[in-house]
Amino acid sequence: MTLKEVSTLLNLSIYQTRLFLKEASLQKIGINNSREIVYDTNVINNLRDILEKRYKDNCLNKYTPKELITLGCTGHDRAILKSEPTSLFDRYRTFTGVSYFYDKLEVNAYLASKSCGSELLSLLQIMELVGFKTLQQLQHALNDCNIKEVKRGYSSFKYYKESDIKFFIDLVKKRYSFNKANRLSTQQMQELGFKTNDRIVFQKVKAEPIDRINEYAEAGGLAFYDKTEVERKLKFKKFLNHTICEKDAKEHLGYKNTEKFKKMIQEYGITLTSNGKYEINYYDKSNIDSLKNIIDKNYEHNLETKITSGQIKALGYSRKLIRKLTPIHTRPIDNVYKFANAVIFYDKEQFLDLKKQYRDLAETNNVLTEYYTSKQLMELLNIPNNINRYMDKFRISPIKIPLSRQNYWHKEEVDDFVKRRNDLYNYYDSNYYLISDVEYLLGCSISKFYSICSDFNIPITAEELPIEVKFNKFTKSHLGFPKDKIDNIFAKINDKQRQSTTNHQTINVLESSNDTQHNSNTTSEIKSSLQVLGHLDDEKIVQILEEIANYSTPSINDKIKTIISEKDLIIQLDYSKKQFDENNEHFRILKLEYGNLNYYLLEDCSNLLKKLCEEQNNLLGLNYTHVEAIAKVPSTVLYKNREKVQIPPHLRFGRLKKLKYVYPKKVIDIYLKSLEFSDLIERYKNELEYNTLPDKIFLKVVKELDLNFLDLVKETETAWHNFASKKLLSSNGNIKTIKKLFVRFIKITELLQSKLISKEIMDMTSNEINFVFLNNKVPSTYKEVLYSFFNHLLLRFSNCKYLVSELNNPYVEKNERLANSKHNKKIYSINEFLTLLDYVKDIQRHKDNALSEYKKKPMCETKGNYESIWLYVMLHLNNGWRSTDFIEKIPRIPLSIPVQDYKSFENYNLTLEESTKIIWELTSNLMNVYHNKNGKRAFFFISEDMIVPVANAIVLCELKAQLINSKRNNLIDLGNSNELNTSMHDKFFKTFPINNFKFKSLMANSTFITFVNSILKQKTNRNPLEITKFIRNHDSLDTTNRYVHVNEEHLNKISKQLFDKGYFGYTYDYLKQIVIGESQNNSMENNEKNLLATVFGDIYKIENLSIMLNAIEEQKKPLYEFVKSLSQEQQREVLDLINMNQLPAKESFWQCILGDCLYLDRKCNSCPFAIPHFYVLTKTVHNLNNLIPKLEQIQNISYKGERVRLANLLYKNLSLISTAKKQFGENVLSSFLGKDYSDFLNNIRSLDSISENLIIGGN
């Protein structure tokens, strides 16, 4: 039995089970396959029996402290009674948390000794006379009614006078009767159908302790409601059953447009039944139902007789047809249900009449299934072009179908023709030779064939091929030879040749048939050539001459023994004729020319073929073919490889027949080895994330890669391993930095191993070290590490022959390089920046390009990334982030629009509201993001002009990630390299107006920061360096110390892209209105009044409303006085500084109009001079979530000051939320709150006792 099973059996936690087993000294008996400890089942059962027996004894003989309290014993009584501590085995089942027991006999005897007279009543006796459920409720009621207890002797039990109790009981019964007659409890209100939100409008009375009897005893937060008020409300609800509000009436009648609904109401003279409460319009339900009948009849009539342009288009007809119809303007009664948005109707009968004129088109669509198009016919007949001319030869003509521009061919006629054609083709293919077939069988040209037949007086029959069969094999042929006749001719030629059995006859036959040929050897010349070889006797030579005279293809004569024709040799070599002629002179084999044909000794040809195969095998032993290479490495790597080997022409046969190049195995194997190296490094890099000993992993990799130094340099190896391990362990960088350092040390180890052969570093001179390790070919980062290592060796070994002062110092080179780069650092010109801005804002262009990429190459099969490039470039124009920060920090977000995929998004245009919601959703996920390089907080924003373009790009990126089922959390996907490479850049900037424009991340960052710096200086005439460092949180002023003048024409346009305007609130709005010159229209007072009414109750029930509004106005006075004391130029400057984030307050994400805080003891959310940023909402929502649980228990807080503080805190946070809603919209707030905004307000309204504790004033 495992530990878990023991725990279940004993009904104990794992921890308690371990304690019980240890107390019982039970040992494990083994470990199972799941590596779990196992105990003896019998022993465990015995332990359970012991515990159960112990538990039953305790139940019978012991009292717990809790049970004593239930019996009425006070602390004084428990002090008199003796207690004994429990042991571990006592704390079982219901006694788990019991520390002490009391003996039952002793306690019962003690209680029996405490008798009382009839003039006094105990709590238990009183409980029997009244309907309280618990002693605690009774005690509260007695105390509330000021009924004093009476002490008797040493007894600690509570007793009360019988006369007092009679008065108390009468009071309780009268109160109960009053409650039954005049009040309703919360439970009764629920039974009547009043939910929490419905009960808010009623005045409620909190129950007192004396009320909690009988059916009112078990309610927790009991409250009473006035029965008369509830009855009035019920009458009103009954009234509502016969009426209908304006909103419901509009939906009931099928209207979407309120104005058209009201026109209908006026037209039919339907009057308001009552304004109801909260100025809601109500109508008599019977009148609305009557109107609905009229509207429905009209709607059914419209369905039968009218049609809209949208319906016509859905049927597949164009605007051209719609223009021919007579438009009918809709009336308010028509704009319901499907026709809610209709403006124009068309007569359906007129449409159907016009549709008949287009019926031929529909008939065409049906008829087309009986015809082939010209394209289909060309594919069917394998005719590349001029199908009309071809078919005309067979007297098959196309037909013209009305409203169609192309020709059609009747299927039956074509199918019959195809059958005849195929049958004819098969006949000629089976029974006729082509000229090429005859030449192949004879082994000579067709003219030679005609000459031989003429010499032997053999007639030749050739037929012209019919045009029907001129496809596939017969495409370019005109003549065909009957196979049976050609076979007879070959037989006759062979018979003639066999008659010439002697050498003399053979010579006569050959010479007689070659009188007209030129450049041919005679038989004697061939004989002389064979005799020169020296190893052939006369009999063998005569045999060769005979075979030459009688040589034919193997199909006619299979007994070739000594020679082979050139044509057959070409076939054996798998050469083309051209290839054979080009390489023939290199073969060095004897050629015997006779009758314009060439022959070779079979022995020579066998040796040649063997030699060629050996050469080819040697070549393949050192190289891969293209197919083999592609199977091992990507094609891009293969094509970039310049070390490919050209195949010699004479070896292009067999596997190498159609190839020009092979690829060295050595080069490819080195590449594969480097891949294995990279994979190994990558695997151990990932291990660094959860391993705290990078030095151990470093040594492990060195061993696995076999990077061992030679025996002559073992001291250097040991010193280097110690140095690298120490550096890795002492690094304070993040995991990314440690990974870079880890890879760098591996590469340097590889470098040291390859360079150090016979000499320790300590024995090398300064010049040798400079030449080997500190030269220009070694990366600068490696040289910096090596330079530190050489310093380390100098301190450790006294026998070093080099001097540090004579070594090339890489840090000096680095400082010079950085100085030059800072001095020459480039930025984009104003024209380039503005042109780039206009280019990326062209939504339709970039959306179409992204969708086009998707259509050409489905995203699941390609690395299409146009949408990521678009988003990547746009984010650079509003934020000074580094490239890696954009790629790694921008997260994916759920889409809140009704779009499922690319196809549905193609015709979907994002509204400004939808775009804003997407941007704020992304922004809310980037509030706690930090830069990779320096770990400082990153600030993110999108300018107003860029909201819609960026939102479109975000949607496209998310749809792409969903399409390929990406496991990445990042929104931007620039492939494995995670950078904007050349091909991506050229693809995106293909149509950019400025030629040779190059987008670079660092250059865009420099431009952004320079423009921020310059505009701040121009608009405020201040030094902005200290503040603008927040853009990327630079540690040094030099990073942002650049300036460029921006003219007035471009100043505002560029400012809109660079500065975040996510500020809101009454102070910000007031400042803008003062600067712009608009009046406030009492917006503050209205806003506060609405907030108080909406959240804290009906404004007519808040007695101190005017006091509260005056207090709020009083708080704002210092703000009004300060702003009005400024000149117009100063007011404008303050607004500009706020918009440019240049007046940071003491708290994060707040700006302060004063610049320097004058109220150090006041929080920003209580200060009229403070202006909140959008980011503040995160903290506000967090504060509300912590505050609401406390407010739910506010009635239990006895100290009024604390209740007031909590209510005021709620008001301040809600005030901030309500102003944010005005600026950013309800949807954005809902996403922050994690619930619908209206549901959130309902939760706030349901809180008890808030309005009565609200006191606005003071600080």
Q: Which residue has the higher pLDDT, 745 or 577?
A: 745
Q: Nearest-CA neighbor of 874 among 906, 907, 904, 850?
A: 850
Domain residues for the domain of 1090 are: 1063-1253
Domain contains 619: no
Structure token pair of residue 914: 């939808």
Do 318 and 212 sit in the same domain of this protein?
A: no
Sheet of strand 62-63: strand arrangement: 62-63, 100-103, 83-85
**What's the whole-number mean pLDDT along residues 171-185?**
86
Q: Which residue has the higher pLDDT, 79 or 118?
A: 79
Residue 1058 has pLDDT above 80, yes or no: no
Do 771 and 843 sit in the same domain of this protein?
A: no
The domain boundary residue, chosen from 177, 205, 239: 239
Q: Which residue has the higher pLDDT, 850 or 210?
A: 850
Question: Do the bridges between strand 407-410 and strand 432-433 make them parallel or antiparallel, or are there none, so unpaired?
Answer: unpaired
What pLDDT was estimated at residue 848?
A: 92
Q: Nearest-CA neighbor of 426 among 418, 438, 435, 416?
A: 418
Helix/strand/coil (H, E, C) string of 997-1055?
Answer: CCCCHHHHHHHHHHHHHHHHHHHHCCCCHHHHHHHCCCCCHHHHCCCCCCCHHHHHHHH
What pLDDT was estimated at residue 752?
A: 92
Domain contains 1044: no
d(CA 236, CA 241): 9
Domain contains 1039: no
Domain contains 1047: no
Considering only 340-354, 699-713, 1225-1239, which range has the smallest mean pLDDT? Answer: 1225-1239
Coil vs helix vs strand at 1148? coil
Residue 416 has pLDDT above 80, yes or no: yes
Do 840 and 962 sit in the same domain of this protein?
A: yes
Identify any residues that bridge with 85 across adjacent strands, giving them in sequence order.
Answer: 100
pLDDT band at 118 (very low <50, low <70, confident <90, very high): very low
Question: Do the bridges between strand 120-122 and strand 183-185 make them parallel or antiparallel, or are there none, so unpaired?
Answer: unpaired
Do 874 and 998 sit in the same domain of this protein?
A: yes
pLDDT band at 515 (very low <50, low <70, confident <90, very high): very low
Q: Nearest-CA neighbor of 883 among 1029, 987, 1006, 732?
A: 1006
Task: Return phi, psi of residue 1137, to 5°.
Answer: -65, -40
Identify any residues that bridge with 37 across adjacent strands, giving them in sequence order.
Answer: 31
What pLDDT was estimated at residue 1241?
A: 79
Q: Which residue has the higher pLDDT, 310 or 547?
A: 310
Domain contains 1230: yes
Q: Which residue has the higher pLDDT, 691 or 300?
A: 300
Structure token pair of residue 971: 């929104």
Task: Return phi, psi of residue 371, to 5°.
Answer: -135, 155
Residue 711 has pLDDT above 90, yes or no: no
Domain count, the chain: 7
Q: Nearest-CA neighbor of 748 among 791, 779, 713?
A: 779
Residue 191 has pLDDT above 60, yes or no: yes
d(CA 623, CA 643): 11
Do 308 and 276 sit in the same domain of this protein?
A: yes
What pLDDT was estimated at residue 786?
A: 93
Which residues touch 128 (CB under 8 Å, ≥6 apart)? Answer: none
Mean pLDDT of all residues belonging to the chain: 78
Do 752 and 840 sit in the same domain of this protein?
A: no
Do 265 and 373 sit in the same domain of this protein?
A: no
pLDDT band at 511 (very low <50, low <70, confident <90, very high): very low
Question: CA quadruple 18, 23, 24, 29: dihedral positive or negative?
Answer: positive
CA distance readout (Å), 1259 to 34, 1162, 1219:
65, 7, 20
Structure token pair of residue 11: 């009904």
What pLDDT was estimated at residue 605?
A: 82
Long-range contacts, 501-508 (Cβ 8 Å, 24+) = 503/542, 503/545, 503/546, 506/545, 506/546, 506/549
924 exposure class (CB count in 10 Å sphere: 0-12, 13-18, 19+): middle
What pLDDT was estimated at residue 277?
A: 46
Residue 611 has pLDDT above 60, yes or no: yes
Do 308 and 397 sit in the same domain of this protein?
A: no
d(CA 161, CA 138): 15
d(CA 28, CA 2): 9
Helical packing angle, 1066-1076 and 1105-1125, nearest 10°: 50
pLDDT band at 504 (very low <50, low <70, confident <90, very high): very low
d(CA 1044, CA 829): 9
What pLDDT was estimated at residue 1025?
A: 42
pLDDT digits (tens, 9 = 90+) for 42-62: 888 988 989 998 888 888 888
Which residues touch 620 (CB under 8 Å, ≥6 apart)? Answer: 655, 656, 662
pLDDT band at 953 (very low <50, low <70, confident <90, very high): very high
d(CA 897, CA 899): 6
Do 226 and 260 sit in the same domain of this protein?
A: no
**What's the whole-number mean pLDDT along residues 1107-1113?**
60
What pLDDT was estimated at residue 825?
A: 58
Domain contains 439: no
pLDDT digits (tens, 9 = 90+) for 767-792: 999 988 998 888 888 999 999 999 99
Q: What is the DSSP code string of 350-387?
A: HHHHHHHHTHHHHHHHHHGGGEEEHHHHHHHHT--S-H
What pLDDT was estimated at residue 392?
A: 83
d(CA 157, CA 160): 10
What pLDDT was estimated at residue 533?
A: 54
Considering only 107-121, 410-424, 738-752, 1199-1213, which range has the smallest mean pLDDT? Answer: 107-121
The continuous run of DSSP H or E covering 464 comes out as: strand 463-464
Do 858 and 979 sit in the same domain of this protein?
A: yes
What pLDDT was estimated at residue 859?
A: 36
For residue 218, the one-letter residue type is: E
Coil vs helix vs strand at 751? helix
Do 989 and 907 sit in the same domain of this protein?
A: yes
What pLDDT was estimated at residue 1110?
A: 59
Q: Nearest-CA neighbor of 87 among 116, 62, 119, 123?
A: 62
Q: Nearest-CA neighbor of 766 among 803, 711, 794?
A: 803
Residue 1026 has pLDDT above 50, yes or no: no
pLDDT digits (tens, 9 = 90+) for 444-467: 778 777 777 877 777 777 888 888
Q: Where are the beta strands (DSSP E) in 1050-1149?
A: none
Residue 1040 has pLDDT above 50, yes or no: no
Which residues touch 356 (CB under 8 Å, ≥6 apart)? Answer: none
The domain boundary residue, chosen from 775, 805, 823: 823
Q: Which residue has the higher pLDDT, 490 or 873?
A: 873
Q: Which residue has the higher pLDDT, 1097 or 1169?
A: 1169
What pLDDT was estimated at residue 553?
A: 44
Considering only 411-425, 523-537, 798-812, 1084-1098, which range has the smallest mean pLDDT? Answer: 1084-1098
d(CA 1010, CA 702): 46
The domain boundary residue, chosen from 207, 239, 271: 239
27 exposure class (CB count in 10 Å sphere: 0-12, 13-18, 19+): exposed
Residue 1098 has pLDDT above 90, yes or no: no
The continuous run of DSSP H or E covering 224 comes out as: strand 223-226
Q: Nearest-CA neighbor of 1058 among 1023, 1022, 1011?
A: 1011
Domain contains 1097: yes
Domain contains 616: no
Residue 272 has pLDDT above 70, yes or no: yes
Residue 991 has pLDDT above 50, yes or no: yes
Residue 115 has pLDDT above 50, yes or no: no
Q: Where are the beta strands (DSSP E) in 659-777?
A: 661-664
Question: CA quadruple 696, 698, 704, 709: dihedral positive or negative?
Answer: negative
Do 809 and 836 sit in the same domain of this protein?
A: no
What pLDDT was estimated at residue 910?
A: 93
CA distance readout (Å), 1034 to 880, 937, 940, 1000, 1029:
11, 11, 16, 20, 5
**What's the whole-number mean pLDDT along residues 1117-1124?**
84
pLDDT band at 873 (very low <50, low <70, confident <90, very high): very high
Residue 33 has pLDDT above 90, yes or no: no
Residue 92 has pLDDT above 80, yes or no: yes
pLDDT band at 1082 (very low <50, low <70, confident <90, very high): very low
For residue 988, the one-letter residue type is: F
For residue 1183, the one-letter residue type is: N
